[in-house]
Amino acid sequence: MTRETPVWAKWYTEGKDPFYVPEDICVNTMLKRTFEAHADLVQFEYYGQELTYAQVRDKAAQVAAGLKAAGIRRGDRVALHLPNSPWHPIFFFGVLTAGAAVTHLSPLDAEQEIAHKVRDVDAKMVISLTTPEFAGRFARLVRQADFPPVYLCPDPVSAQGRPCPVPDGMHAVEELIAGHEGAPYDPPVMRTDEVALLQFTGGTTGVPKAAILTHGNISASVQTYNYGSEGEPTGEPGMPGMLFAPLFHIMGLTSGMLKRTMEGGKMHLRLRFDAASVVDDIEKHGIVSCGGVPTSWIAIMQLPNIEKRNLSSLQFIGSGGAPLPKEVYNRIRQLTGLQLRGGWGMTETASNGTSVPKGMPDEKLGTIGIPLTGVQMAIVDMEDPTIRLGPNETGEMIIKAPAVTVGYWNKPEETENAFVDGWLLTGDIGYMDEDGWFYIVDRKKDLILSGGFNVYPLTIENAIHQHPDVAEALVIGVPDDYRGESAKAFVCLNKGAREFTLEELQGFLADKLGRHEMPRFLEFRTELPRTSVGKASRKMLKDEERARREAAEA
């Protein structure tokens, strides 16, 4: 049976196969190849510290030997609570080299979230930093009998000159890796259906769930990215690129670190995004590629005298994680002469999905691009996902690709509900035009996309409801010029309770929510709008907010 060439195939670079099939290999095999091919090249530069591919390989081997000596076995989960620093790739590669699987904990997670995630995946060990902002999250947890051992790594950059001793109840990383220097790098060849990564995303109940990403999923994602950019100068070995996107986030991990690792690229790794420092780095290091979320680009554009800075080394700039305002796109193009190339992906797709190819026509501005090679996408009816919709008809986006998750950890019902005939229901509402370009117009869930992070209203509501003066609360996303969206809390108080300020609420929530989840706006109500069955309605609040904005703009 002849396959029908998708309508978007005409936009691929000449010679690219629209039916591309990645090699069926595990992540360890990919890594072994690149460590052999690029051993002497610099893999990471971190505030002046350089590590070659060979050095990273050897440190990963040392970590793997230490993990195995500590009792970590094939298939066990090791949780990484690490920001961007060389420790992240060293442990990410080290865990895989030991035959185990990685679980990411966000450094933004509050204590309750960490406890849930660690127990949900039955992590056998946690890796974090000695820096108090990181180690402090575990001070109470390590006193609980069922919590796994926590090993802490030193990081002078995040320490900022402070002494950072290992707190009681935790262990120095040296205890784990000492005596294993010079361990051979001999990663096991894993089956492609074995778990490589458990990456948390939001559940329909507001409780985070872990998407299962196998060795096959991760390797397919990275190979698909590299096939699409094959032949572009920015993908050549040794080419310098910025890497400030969080590595604990699927986009920073796959389309950032792993893609460039397989190409033999030099990554200028930064602890966190800082607009002024990024521009300094571009000038100093001759950066050729730089990707971030729209928030990053907005901050760069707002720098004083940005038009006088030398950004001429840039050859590729990308944006993802949230819709890109057209004004930002136009300003950056005026400044750099480059198209800011966006895209779309999900945790569940190992960030594979769409990308904007070179030479996007101006009339397509606002698009999320076309599906990557080998990725199938369609639009279906939101009530009956077995019904396919035609061009320019709005419905739910669905996707099928080698990188798509096999399901959710310990969540059989949510796994079943996420798929229809082998296609993943994305929860994103959009349409495809007659040329095969995709556009997102809304989100099916009430998810808030803030600064590139997924923020879940129910999680915030559950935390606010712990306040003794709160009777009821609802949270929605409202437009925010800087973050894209921010959380706004609508609160009904108990009888006789006094109103509190936004700052007081944020203080109360400090140990319950991550910084990215904090409400940025607060409004008190005597009652919340309700549906005909008496359920408090976020949709009605969104409609009220929209009407308020339109009236203000009129």
Using one digit for the tens of pLDDT, what is the confidence trace for 237-252?
Answer: 999 999 999 999 999 9
Query: Where exactly does CATH 3.40.50.980 map onto the chain?
Result: 27-38+49-190
Contacts of 176 (CB under 8 A, 6+ apart): 63, 66, 67, 70, 151
Domain 448-553 carries which CATH code? 3.30.300.30
* Residue at token pair 């996420």: 418
Q: Residue 406's pLDDT is what?
A: 97
Residue 204 scores a pLDDT above 90: no
Average pLDDT over residues 202-222: 87
Q: How many of the other CB atoms lie within 10 Å of CB of 121?
A: 21
Buried b (16+ CB within 10 A) or exposed e, 35-51: beebbeebbbbbeeeeb
Crossing angle between the packed helical segments 502-509 and 457-464, to the nearest 10 degrees: 100
Predicted model pTM: 0.84
Average pLDDT score over the chain: 93
Rounded-to-integer distance, Cα 476 and Cα 455, Å: 10
Average pLDDT over residues 525-545: 79
Average pLDDT over residues 495-500: 92
Amino acid at 11: W
Question: Where would I find the beta strands (DSSP E) of 81-182?
Answer: 101-104, 125-129, 150-153, 171-172
Query: Where exactly does CATH 3.40.50.12780 map onto the chain?
Result: 9-26+215-445
Average pLDDT over residues 374-388: 95
Domain 9-26+215-445 carries which CATH code? 3.40.50.12780
* Residue at token pair 């706006």: 521
Residues for the chain: how many in total? 554
Select from 3.40.50.1970, 3.40.50.300, 3.40.50.980, 3.30.70.270 the CATH code of 27-38+49-190.
3.40.50.980
Q: Residue 533's pLDDT is what?
A: 43
pLDDT in tens, 321-348: 766 777 778 889 999 999 999 899 999 9
Q: What are residue 159's phi and psi, to 5 degrees?
A: -70, -30
Tell me the CA distances in angstroms from 522 to 218, 425, 457, 480, 487, one per residue in order. Answer: 40, 33, 14, 14, 9
Contacts of 367 (CB under 8 A, 6+ apart): 342, 356, 360, 437, 438, 439
Residue 453 scores a pLDDT above 90: no
Tell me the CA distances in angstroms from 215 to 35, 39, 96, 193, one per residue in order. Answer: 18, 23, 9, 6
Higher pLDDT, 509 or 301: 509
Average pLDDT over residues 23-41: 98
Q: Residue 554's pLDDT is what?
A: 78
Q: Which of 272-276, 306-310, 443-447, 465-469 has the lowest mean pLDDT?
A: 443-447
The answer to whether the Cα torsion of 442, 445, 451, 454 is positive or negative is negative
Query: Where exactly does CATH 3.30.300.30 map onto the chain?
Result: 448-553
Q: What are residue 398's phi and psi, to 5 degrees?
A: -125, 155
Tell me the CA distances in angstroms from 429 to 174, 399, 445, 480, 543, one per residue in order. Answer: 49, 13, 9, 21, 18
Q: Residue 218's pLDDT is what?
A: 99
Q: Are 226 and 254 in contact (CB under 8 A)?
A: no
Rounded-to-integer distance, Cα 230 and Cα 448, Å: 34
What is the DSSP secondary structure assignment for residue 469, as one 8-state letter? T
Q: Are 49 and 56 in contact (CB under 8 A)?
A: no
